[in-house]
Amino acid sequence: MRQRTAIVIGGGIGGLTAAVALHRQGWEITVLERAAALEPVGAGIALAANAQRALDTIGAGDAVRAMAVPQIRGELRTPRGRRLARTDNAAVVRRFGGPVVVAHRAELIALLAGRLPEGAVRTGAPAEVADPGDPARPDRPARVRLLDPAETARTPHLTADLVIAADGIHSATRRSLFPGHPEPRYAGFTSWRLVVPALRRPYAAHETWGPGGVWGSVALHDGRVYAYATAAVPPGGRAPDDERSELLRRFGGWHQPVPEILAAADPAAVLRNDVRTAARPLPACHRGRVALLGDAVHPMTPNLGQGGCQAIEDAIVLAHRVASDRTLAAALDAYSRERLPRTTEVVRRSERIGRLTTWRSAPAVLLRQAAVACTARFAPDLALRSLDGIADWRPPGGTYASGAPGARPAHPAR
C-alpha cells in the first residue's frame, strides 16, 4: 500500500505534535516552518493534565514531565506582596488527575522535533495552501506552495493526502480557506515573557494581580525563572527604549522577586505580544484535505494556560480520527465536530478571566482582591472550576504511560 503523505505548515507546538502522531502511524511527514530555526524563544509553557495525557498517547508524556517542573505551590498576591490565596496542588491533582507542569518552550519543541525522522522538518520554508484538494477524490490531493522564490523555481508545488495548517494566530491558511472570517481581535491587553538565570534569593511561584496588570514568576527545571506579565494598554504599542525598561516602569515597584528578575533580564530577550482572541468561531476546522489546528483555528487569551494545551489536543484527536475513521472525509468531519464546540468554550472561558485582569480602578481592584481572598478561605475549590471539563479531558483511544497523570477524570469532558 502507498505510504500516506502529510504536509504540516508551521513547526510550533501543535504542528510538531501532529507530525509526531502521524509519523507514529506510518505517514510520511514534511514540516514546513517559516522561521530560520525552530522556536529558539525564551519562554516557558504550562501544560495541564489534559495536554500531558495527550502527549502520553504519542509516548512523549514522561519525557516532557522529566524536563518540566510540577506546580506544587503557587500563590496569588497583591503588588505589595500580600498573599490572597494559595494553590492547593493536592486539590488540582484530585480534580484533574495530575498537576500542571511548566517546561521551557524551546526544550519542548526540540523534544517533539527529535521524534521525527531526519530531514522531516524544513526550516526557512514559508508555505501556503495552493489547493485544499478533495478528500473524497483520490485524484485531488492537496497542493502546497513554497513561498521562497528559489524553492518555488525548483518545486512549484508539493502535494499531499493531508495538509495540517498549524501556522499560528496570524494563519494565512485560515484567511485563504475562510475568506471574510473576522481576524482575531485584541483582547485588551499586551503580554511580556522572559527567562532569567536562577535567582539568589528563594521565592515562591506566584501570580500577582495589580491594577490593569498581572505578573507571574515560576521556576524551570534547571533553576532558571520564567516570568510573564500583562498590562491593559492600547494595541500595537512598543516601548520607546526597550521592553525591559517598560517592565521596570510598570512592575519595578512590585514585591520580590519581580525587581530581582527585572534586574537579571536581558532587554533583547524580552518578548512582547499583543493578546488576541478569536472574534468568532470558524464554521469548521477543515476545508478539503486541510485540517487547521491550534492558534490558527482558536486563538485564545493565555489566562487559562490552555492555548498550547488545546493545540496538542487538536493534534492527537486529528491523528486518532484519521487512524480510526473509514475515509479521510469522515475523519475530517469528525475532527471538526469534536474540536469546535470544545475549543470555542475554552476560548470563551479564557477571555472571561482575561477581562478581570484588565480592571484598573481602585474600588474594582479592591473588590476583586476581597472576592479572591474570600473564595480562597471559604470555597478554595471554586477557583479550580474554570478548568472543569478542560484539564480533566482524556484523549480518545489513548494509551497511558506509567506515571501518567491519573487515568480517571473527575468530570466528564465536554
Ligand X SMILES: Cc1cc2nc3c(=O)[nH]c(=O)nc-3n(C[C@H](O)[C@H](O)[C@H](O)COP(=O)(O)OP(=O)(O)OC[C@H]3O[C@@H](n4cnc5c(N)ncnc54)[C@H](O)[C@@H]3O)c2cc1C
Name the one range near ligand X by CB under 6 A: 13-21, 116-124, 344-352, 368-376: 13-21
Sign of the alpha-carbon torsion through 147, 153, 154, 157: positive
Place of cell 504550562: 46
Site string for ligand X, 222-251 (x = CB under 6 A): ------x-----------------------
Q: Which is closer to ligand X, CB of 107 or CB of 167?
A: 167
Report if residue 34 touches ligand X, rule: CB under 6 A. Answer: yes
Among residues 6, 7, 15, 318, which is the contact residue for ligand X, using CB under 6 A? 15
Burial class (CB in 10 A: 0-12, 13-18, 19+), 344: middle
Q: Which is closer to ligand X, CB of 89 or CB of 364?
A: 89
Among residues 274, 230, 226, 273, the alpha carbon closest in space to that of 105 is found at 226
Report if residue 68 touches ligand X, rule: CB under 6 A. Answer: no
Place of cell 518578548: 271
Report if residue 97 touches ligand X, rule: CB under 6 A. Answer: no
Among residues 5, 6, 7, 11, which is the contact residue for ligand X, using CB under 6 A? 11
Among residues 74, 384, 51, 41, the alpha carbon closest in space to that of 216 is found at 74
∠ CA(305), CA(254), CA(240), 5° rounding?
A: 80
Report if residue 354 touches ligand X, rule: CB under 6 A. Answer: no
Burial class (CB in 10 A: 0-12, 13-18, 19+), 238: exposed
Q: How far apart are CA 345 and CA 365, in angstroms?
A: 26
Name 165's bridge partners: 9, 292
Q: Which is closer to ligand X, CB of 63 or CB of 373?
A: 63
Shortest reach from residue 257's CB to ligand X, in Å? 19
Q: Is 7 helix (H, G, I), strand (E, B) or coil?
A: strand
Q: Which is closer to ligand X, CB of 232 or CB of 309?
A: 309
Site for ligand X in 112-171 (CB under 6 A): 126-128, 166-168
Shortest reach from residue 8's CB to ligand X, in Å? 9
Residue 312 near residue 305, CB atoms below 8 Å:
no
Give the binding-site size for ligand X (rule: CB under 6 A). 35
Shortest reach from residue 12's CB to ligand X, in Å? 2
Name the one range near ligand X by CB under 6 A: 27-35, 150-158, 367-375, 389-397: 27-35
Among residues 7, 29, 45, 334, which is the contact residue for ligand X, using CB under 6 A? 45
Shortest reach from residue 10's CB to ligand X, in Å? 3
Residue 134 near residue 140, CB atoms below 8 Å:
yes
Cell numbers for 96: 484533574
Close Cβ partners of 226 (under 8 Å, ≥ 6 residues apart)? 43, 44, 102, 104, 193, 194, 195, 217, 218, 219, 220
Cell numbers for 316: 492527537
Report if residue 406 touches ligand X, rule: CB under 6 A. Answer: no
Residue 284 near residue 336, CB atoms below 8 Å:
yes
Among residues 302, 405, 406, 409, which is the contact residue for ligand X, using CB under 6 A? 302
Q: Which is closer to ligand X, CB of 13 or CB of 196?
A: 13
Among residues 6, 21, 32, 214, which is the contact residue for ligand X, using CB under 6 A? 32
Q: Which is closer to ligand X, CB of 161 or CB of 314?
A: 314
Among residues 258, 265, 292, 309, which is the contact residue for ligand X, using CB under 6 A? 309
Running DSSP on this structure, what letter comes out for residue 179?
T
Cell numbers for 296: 490558527
Site string for ligand X, 176-215 (x = CB under 6 A): ---------------x-x----------------------
H helix intervals, 243-381: 243-251, 258-264, 307-324, 328-357, 362-378
The DSSP code sequence of 53-98 is HHHHTTT-HHHHHHTSEE--EEEEE-TT--EEEEEEHHHHHHHHSS
Name the one range near ligand X by CB under 6 A: 133-141, 231-239, 308-316, 405-413: 308-316
Report if residue 305 touches ligand X, rule: CB under 6 A. Answer: yes
Report if residue 308 touches ligand X, rule: CB under 6 A. Answer: yes
Site string for ligand X, 259-298 (x = CB under 6 A): --------------x-x------------------xxx--
Q: Which is closer to ligand X, CB of 306 or CB of 358?
A: 306
Binding site for ligand X (CB under 6 A): 9-15, 32-35, 45-46, 126-128, 166-168, 172, 191, 193, 228, 273, 275, 294-296, 302, 305-309, 311
